[in-house]
Amino acid sequence: MLFAALGLTNAAWSSRIPEIRHNVGADNATWGLLGASSAVGDLVAIAVTMVLIGTTRTRKLTRVGAFLMLLSGPLLAGASAFVALGAGLVIWGFGATLLATAINTQGVSAETTYGRRMVPFFHACYSCSVLVGGLYGSASAALGVSPGLQLAISTAVFGLLLLVTANWLPDDAPQSDGSHSTLAERLRNRWVPQLRLLALLAFVASFIEGTVGQWSAIYATDTAGANAALAAGIYTAFTVAILVVRLVGDLVMQRVAVRTFLQWSLLVAGLGIATVILWPSTATVVVGFVLAGIGIGCVMPAVIRLAGQQPDVSAGEGVSMVTLGQWPGFLLASPVIGVVAGATDLRTALMLLIVCGIGGALLARKVQQTEPGQ
């Protein structure tokens, strides 16, 4: 439910951005600055999580993150002033990032408790709710429902569900109460080669996913000559591909070593981007970005699972390192591609994703197996 709440709320907000932007009267430059506000909240949440995780119960972090994310949604969607919207985005980013780290940690805990692979399924719930959230936002706009009211309705539904089910969440005791180790020591214990490697793989996966999200439709229209309707559907096709592979990915991971799975996944993602670049037609662009979605779909769930199973650190401490790598991947995807495309062209800029796919596959060769039989 919490993975679904995170996905639906993010998508529902994103689908109403044009109207919210009009309400506050922001031009492109001002909106860009406002958009950076959520990144500030993300960064603060990462810092807070790095400090608290391992010494604070993740159930408590989940409750705080969910409360802030759900509460800030309708408030910032209904904002009509720059300051209020900027402040709301900071709180939004903080709550969503805190929640994402906590529920990924609890996903690993649920796997341990039930002895079943669950993290990809939880991420599939997120992907599915992103699609539902987009439809929810579009339907609300078509019916004339204001963004603030729309998010207030979804907040009320998820808030009620959270009140009923919050005590069902895993409530693992902290690994350390901090009495025998300093913060510096706890952070240093996480900075081991394997977790650094997993953080780097998280960066690569997030950079690829973030780039496709921001630039696939633009590439389809400007380079491949696709019409607006097809271009708009490409990211949806990419998202559906990610959803499908998260639903079936565990069937593959049960049969192959996770190291091999990561290598081939990243190579398939690179192959999809190569297809898009080498043969830029309307058909191959769709096929290429769907291939990229199939390749990248289960990389983050696999990396999170591995990070949560590392020896000598708690699941939350391991997952926090993955979050540390994931955040700059999403943040840098759009500006880096934009700068390179401005200096050359978008087709050349997307070659960076091929480099990411091949480089990530080479890095995955160094992943140490932690699961039985692998």
pLDDT, tens digit, 9 for 90 and up, residues 78-105: 777 777 788 888 888 899 999 999 999 9
**In this predicted structure, what is the pLDDT of residue 28?**
61
Convert the pLDDT of each residue in 221-237 to its tens digit: 888 887 777 777 888 88
| pLDDT exceeds 70 at position 178 | no
Contact 361, 349 (CB under 8 A): no
Residue 372: band (very low, low, confident or very high) from pLDDT cuts 50, 70, 90: very low
3-state secondary structure of 53: strand
- What sign for the dihedral angle of Cα 111, 125, 301, 70? negative
Residue 323's H or E segment, with its range, is helix 315-343
Residue 200: band (very low, low, confident or very high) from pLDDT cuts 50, 70, 90: very high
Using CB atoms within 10 Å of the CB of residue 51, give its burial: 0 to 12 exposed, 13 to 18 middle, 19+ buried.
middle
**Residues 151, 153: Cα–Cα separation, whole Å:** 5
**In this predicted structure, what is the pLDDT of residue 180?**
57
Of these ranges, 54-68, 153-167, 290-304, the one predicted with the greatest mean pLDDT is 290-304
**In this predicted structure, what is the pLDDT of residue 32?**
64
Convert the pLDDT of each residue in 145-155 to its tens digit: 888 888 888 88
**Residues 253, 137: Cα–Cα separation, whole Å:** 35
